[in-house]
Amino acid sequence: MTANGITQIVLYLVILTVLAYPLGIYMTAVYMGTLRIPRWLAAPERGFYRLVGTSAEAEQGWKGYAKTSLVFMAVFAALLYLLLRLQGHLPLNPDGLASVNPWVAMNTTASFVTNTNWQYYGGETTMSYLSQMAGLAVQNFVSAAVGMAVLAAVIRGFARRSAGTVGNFWVDLYRSLVYVLLPLAAILAILLVSQGVVQTFHGAATATTVEGAQQTIARGPAASQIAIKQLGTNGGGFYNSNSSVPFENPNPFTNLLEMLSILLIPAAQVFMFGRMVGARRQALPVYAAMMAMTVIGLAVALPAEQHGSQVLRDSGVNLAAGDGSSGGNLSDKEVRSGIASTVNWAVATTNASNGSVNGGHDAFTAAGGAVPITNMFTGEVIWGGVGSGLYGMFFYIVIAVFVAGLMVGRTPEYLGKKIEAREIKLAVVGALFVPTMVLVLTALAISTSRGLASIFNPGAHGFSETLYAYDSQSNNNGSAFAGYGATEFSALLGSVGLWLGRFAPLVAALALGGSLAAKKTAPPSAGTFRTDGPTFVVLLVGVVILTAGLMIFPALTLGPIVEALQ
Amino acid sequence: MIRLLGRSALAVVVLTLVFGVAYPVIVTGFAQLVFSDKADGSLLERDGKVVGSRLAAQAFTQPRYFHPRPSATAPEYNAAATTFANLGPTNPDLAKAVRQRALAILKLERPYNPGLTIGDIPVDAVTTSASGIDPHISPANARLQAARIANARGLSPDRVSQLIDDNTDGRWLGVFGEPGVNVLELNLALDQETS
């Protein structure tokens, strides 16, 4: 760890908070319907509602909300699959790429509709401009907006009293897309182009190098897609090596912008939550708990990567930081990012369900690689995906107040709502379904010859690759130990994780929101466990670490821990 | 249910047109209007011909040029198929590759740097970059190669040092990221100096 490295990371967290706070206030207005919308913007909004047969005032119960969102996503998935399968016959394909094969198309469809962006393909060698723009980039917007919409509905469940409805899916979807994601993405895209991120419809460029060889340089409409893949916790790169490629992320300024974009909306949603439930102080412990877990991850990964891997240390080359070298484990990292920026990104992208990377995680040290695995395994509730992170955290919050209730012997409450058997059941399903599935899918992949065929690195690291693959897909992250290869088997197994990992928590969260909305709100009494103070931060962090940490620990033992001991 | 399917399909079409067509087309139009060089890939020209991009490493093997970091792409420095090496931290292949690269560097640089040992080689010189086209090397790596360049081109070490500094991209605001020497720009500057 260098002083500069720590400074970079601290500044990053401070700037993030400074940006997230006002965005949280703005988003509160968006979802409360109190945003003052100029007439020229109100007309298309009404038009969209008319098109889908609803109005801004119409309301849905949680079941109607869930059904609408699921059908909408199913239709979108069908279209995306067709587009990928037919891209070879469609326009905007200047580099003449073939149609995507059925297995990759199936996995990619699941991956993008679920806000994951796991990539079993290299972007510049597989996807036409049409597929990137009209297929994948659209999903980057829409899948993010679905998560944001569902979060708004669940928060209304906490805020409303004796209510039968939680909002209107179409309204929340439209407002997430047009009033939050689109303006942010447009601003970010322009900023990125101004720094050198490519944005062109000209095909690849050809250069005759200084030494006389030919070099083909892949280009395309990248900045517009990168902006939303960072903001919408999507993560799918335009290029195979994602944001490590200079055409996606040319300098330390764009690196900071892209890294801030990873956590901006999830962090803002915590502030939004406090305001929407009318108790701003309630947001602070949640924010503090997320920040604390981020710092824990950084505190493990940063020294590990700066120290370097055993192989590099044994080689005898100079790993020291300073004097014109960042030192450390620079394997599969870029010089301009160095150790601190790459570790910061790796932790942020797996706290969130983003999954974009600015360096290769497969080459991380054992401890450095264990942090992303553990971050994802929490269900990505440390900030988490846009919407999905905070609604995932609600499961842990419910469990935490339940545990506190057991300790003091009172009916647990949160924000004046009694937490009863139904809420506990939904929270347990929401919190434990995905981690359990990760372990089952990993076990299947590691105990079958077809599963083993995907492994690239020998020894314990091969197990880590497998664990990472199903952890990432089931939690809708999308980053990878990228040596793990695409086979029909792994694409199918991964697709199971992708779909179930998205929809099980989503439906459980909506059911929780619906159940809470129907309850009365009781005023706090002397015996109410306070959820707005430091005690609750400790309790919440403890519950997350105990729940997810104990489940992942045996698996970590087989992978990173064995590796660290080698 | 049928009605919901129909409405969803309509929504899909409209959203695809707005976010999949209008949004990227408008961003592209603006980008091409205001930042066309950057939007087209920061290409570098010499005598009217494109020689590469300032954002992509290219192969340099001659002793009179600075050499970029190792690349895992096939062939090396393929800017149309970027990739990581994905070798894990305990992989024997990584140990072998690092050792071979270090020995090759010692062989190349020792004649100009008497007493050079493996411990003088900065880590970026023996590890693959993440993109495979990392345009930068660390300043320490550039200094290691400077003596060879000075000798091959008959330049003073001070002048080579100066050119390295001129082509170093620093940290942003002095804090964020790491300094890196742009290899292609530095080599073009060298050619201009001694052609």
Of A228 and B1, the structure prediction assigns the larger pLDDT to A228
Query: Is A185 within 8 Å of B23 when comparing Cβ atoms?
Result: yes
Sign for the pseudo-dihedral over CA of A26, A32, A34, A39: positive
The whole-angstrom separation of Cα A387 and Cα A393 is 10
Element (DSSP H or E) covering residue A388: helix A388-408
The H-assigned helical ranges of A221-365 are 223-231, 252-276, 283-307, 310-315, 338-351
Of B180 and A94, the structure prediction assigns the larger pLDDT to B180
The tokens for A63 are 């079941």
**Half-sphere CA count of A21, side-chain side, radius 13 A:** 7
Nearest residue, CB atoms, B11 vs list A72, A241, A246: A72
A442 Cβ neighbours under 8 A, 6+ residues apart: A466, A467, A470, A471, A555
What pLDDT sits at residue B54? 98
Determine the average pLDDT of the residues in B74-102: 95
Query: Does B49 lie at the interface with A, CB-CB under 8 angstroms?
Result: yes
Interface of A with B in 210-229 (CB under 8 A): 210-211, 213, 215-219, 221, 223-225
DSSP at B180: E
Task: Express the helix, strand and coil content of chain B in percent, nearest 5 each.
Answer: 50, 10, 40
What pLDDT sits at residue A206? 96
Query: Looking at CA atoms only, how far is residue A80 from chain B in angstroms?
Result: 10
Query: Is B16 within 8 Å of A458 when comparing Cβ atoms?
Result: no
Q: Where are the beta strands (DSSP E) in chain B?
A: 43-46, 49-53, 136-137, 168-169, 180-182
B83 contact residues in A (CB cutoff 8 A): 122, 240-241, 482
Three-state DSSP at A418 gives: strand
Chain B's closest residue to A461, CA to CA, is B88
The whole-angstrom separation of Cα A152 and Cα A154 is 6
Three-state DSSP at A511 gives: helix
The tokens for A80 are 């995306």
The whole-angstrom separation of Cα A93 and Cα A98 is 9
Within 10 Å of residue A58's Cβ, how many Cβ atoms?
14
What pLDDT sits at residue B192? 95
What pLDDT sits at residue B45? 96
A239 contact residues in B (CB cutoff 8 A): 82, 131
Nearest residue, CB atoms, A315 vs list B81, B98, B191: B98
B47 Cβ neighbours under 8 A, 6+ residues apart: none
* Whether the predicted pLDDT of B105 surpasses 90: yes
Strands B168-169 vs B180-182: parallel, antiparallel or unpaired: antiparallel
Q: Is residue B60 within 8 Å of residue B68, measured between CB atoms?
A: yes
User: Can you give the length of chain A in residues?
Assistant: 566
The whole-angstrom separation of Cα A190 and Cα A209 is 29
The whole-angstrom separation of Cα A299 and Cα A368 is 10
Q: Is residue B133 within 8 Å of residue B82, measured between CB atoms?
A: yes
Nearest residue, CB atoms, A256 vs list B82, B123, B176: B176
For A341-392, write each residue's pLDDT tens digit.
Answer: 999 999 999 999 999 999 999 999 999 999 999 999 999 999 999 999 999 9
Q: Is residue A284 within 8 Å of residue A271, measured between CB atoms?
A: no
Interface of A with B in 468-527 (CB under 8 A): 481-483
The whole-angstrom separation of Cα A180 and Cα A231 is 10
B70 contact residues in A (CB cutoff 8 A): none
Q: What is the dihedral of CA B189, B191, B192, B195, to 10 degrees?
A: 160
Chain A's closest residue to B190, CA to CA, is A210
Q: Find which of B178, B182, B188, B191 to mutate to test the A interface (most A CBs within 10 Å of its CB).
A: B178
Beta bridge partners, A216, equal A206
Within 10 Å of residue A550's Cβ, how many Cβ atoms?
9
The whole-angstrom separation of Cα B92 and Cα B87 is 9
Q: Find which of A14, A54, A211, A215 to mutate to test the B interface (most B CBs within 10 Å of its CB).
A: A215
Query: Looking at CA atoms only, how far is residue A255 from chain B in angstroms?
Result: 8
DSSP at B128: -
B102 Cβ neighbours under 8 A, 6+ residues apart: A315, A316, A317, B118, B121, B126
What is the side-by-side order of every strand in the sheet holding B136-137?
B136-137, B180-182, B168-169
Query: Does B103 lie at the interface with A, CB-CB under 8 angstroms?
Result: no
What pLDDT sits at residue A272? 98
A72 contact residues in B (CB cutoff 8 A): 8, 11-12
Greatest C-alpha distance within chain B: 80
Element (DSSP H or E) covering residue A215: strand A214-217
Interface of A with B in 165-194 (CB under 8 A): 170, 177, 182, 185-186, 189-190, 193-194
Q: Is residue A232 within 8 Å of residue B74, measured between CB atoms?
A: no
What pLDDT sits at residue A260? 98
A78, A232, B17, B25 from A84: Cα distances, Å? 10, 22, 17, 20
Query: Does B164 lie at the interface with A, CB-CB under 8 angstroms?
Result: no
What pLDDT sits at residue B7? 94
Q: Find which of A140, A181, A330 to mutate to test the B interface (most B CBs within 10 Å of its CB).
A: A330
Q: Is residue A461 within 8 Å of residue B91, measured between CB atoms?
A: yes
Q: How many helices (H) and strands (E) does chain A have?
A: 23, 4
Query: Is B4 within 8 Å of A330 when comparing Cβ atoms?
Result: no
Interface of A with B in 54-83 (CB under 8 A): 67-68, 71-72, 74-76, 79
Q: Is residue A238 within 8 Å of residue A246, measured between CB atoms?
A: no
Query: Does B38 lie at the interface with A, CB-CB under 8 angstroms?
Result: yes
Query: Is B87 within 8 Å of A457 when comparing Cβ atoms?
Result: yes
Query: Looking at CA atoms only, how far is residue A175 from chain B in angstroms?
Result: 13
The whole-angstrom separation of Cα A468 and Cα A110 is 18
The whole-angstrom separation of Cα A476 and Cα A352 is 10
What pLDDT sits at residue B107? 97
Return the exposure string of A158-197: e unless at least 16 CB atoms fall within 10 Å of the residue's CB, then b.
bbbeebebbbbbbbbbbbbbbbbbbebbbebbbbbbbbbb
Query: Is B134 within 8 Å of A335 when comparing Cβ atoms?
Result: yes
Query: Is A337 within 8 Å of B178 when comparing Cβ atoms?
Result: yes
Interface of A with B in 411-440 (CB under 8 A): none
Nearest to A5 by CA among A356, A268, A476, A326: A326
What pLDDT sits at residue A528? 82
Query: Is B27 within 8 Å of A52 when comparing Cβ atoms?
Result: no
- Low-confidence residues of chain A, pLDDT below 70? none
Amino acid identity, position A477: N
The tokens for A403 are 């545990």
The whole-angstrom separation of Cα A439 and Cα A554 is 10
Q: Find which of B124, B126, B143 to mutate to test the A interface (most A CBs within 10 Å of its CB).
A: B124
Nearest residue, CB atoms, B169 vs list A68, A336, A366: A336
What pLDDT sits at residue A89? 93
Nearest to A147 by CA among A269, A237, A57: A269
B89 contact residues in A (CB cutoff 8 A): 309-312, 329, 331, 363-366, 369, 461, 563
The tokens for B49 are 């011909």
Return the exposure string of A350-371: e unless at least 16 CB atoms fall within 10 Å of the residue's CB, then b.
bbbbbbbbbbbbbbbbbbbbbb
Q: Is residue B97 within 8 Å of residue B72, measured between CB atoms?
A: no
Determine the average pLDDT of the residues in B171-191: 97
Query: Looking at CA atoms only, how far is residue B110 from chain A in angstroms?
Result: 15
Within 10 Å of residue A456's Cβ, how many Cβ atoms?
17
What pLDDT sits at residue A38? 92
Of B83 and A119, the structure prediction assigns the larger pLDDT to B83
Within 10 Å of residue A487's Cβ, how many Cβ atoms?
15
A368 Cβ neighbours under 8 A, 6+ residues apart: A300, A301, A304, A305, A329, A343, A346
Amino acid identity, position A409: G
Query: Is A210 within 8 Å of B51 when comparing Cβ atoms?
Result: yes
Phi/psi at A487 (nearest 5 deg)? Answer: -130, 170
The whole-angstrom separation of Cα A210 and Cα A503 is 53
Query: Is A317 within 8 Å of B102 when comparing Cβ atoms?
Result: yes
Query: Looking at CA atoms only, how far is residue B167 from chain A in angstroms?
Result: 13
Query: Is A241 within 8 Å of B119 when comparing Cβ atoms?
Result: no
**Half-sphere CA count of B26, side-chain side, radius 13 A:** 12
* Whether the predicted pLDDT of B170 surpasses 80: yes
Three-state DSSP at B156 gives: coil
